[in-house]
């Protein structure tokens, strides 16, 4: 995608905490402390520490180490799309731990 970096405007950059409410709505739990491993560089970062771009169509969460897009969230009137092909995995704490 040639225009993949179109949202790389640091003036629009937030961190993952800015979308904590949206993530909580999708996952039904607090997600800012969940660990996301970047599929591109292997960096581990808390969701709350990812770079968040909220002016792209939907939300884009990027790796703070290599700027690769880890996850995208797009909401339509009838559905929520979560694309996370840039994440090797998300790691959430098991209940009670």
Classify residue 12 by its DSSP letter.
Answer: G
3-state secondary structure of 76: coil
Kindly tell me which residue out of 14, 20, 33, 40 binds Zn ion, with binding defined by CB under 5 A. 40
Residue 83, class by beta-carbon neighbours within 10 Å (0-12 exposed, 13-18 middle, 19+ buried)? middle
Stretch that binds Zn ion, among 14-22, 23-31, 33-41, 47-55 (CB under 5 A): 33-41
Compare residues 13 and 68 and give the one whose CB is closer to Zn ion.
Answer: 68
Yes or no: say if 52 and 59 are a contact pair by the CB < 8 Å rule. Answer: yes
Angle formed at CA 38 by CA 78 and CA 81, multiple of 5 degrees: 5
What track of x and - describes contact with Zn ion for positions 46 through 75 (by CB under 5 A)? Answer: -----------------x-xx-x-------
Q: Which stretch binds Zn ion (CB under 5 A): 22-30, 39-47, 74-82, 89-97?
A: 39-47
Which positions lie near Zn ion, rule CB under 5 A?
A: 38, 40-41, 43, 63, 65-66, 68
């Amino acid at each position: 995608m040639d225009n993949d970096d179109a949202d790389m405007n640091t003036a629009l950059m937030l961190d993952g905490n800015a979308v904590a409410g949206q993530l909580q709505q999708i996952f039904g739990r607090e997600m800012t402390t969940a660990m996301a491993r970047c599929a591109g560089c292997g960096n581990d970062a808390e969701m709350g520490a990812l770079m968040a771009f909220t002016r792209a169509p939907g939300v884009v969460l990027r790796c703070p180490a290599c700027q690769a897009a880890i996850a995208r969230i797009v909401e339509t009137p009838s559905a929520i799309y979560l694309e996370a092909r840039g994440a090797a995995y998300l790691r959430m704490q098991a209940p009670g731990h």
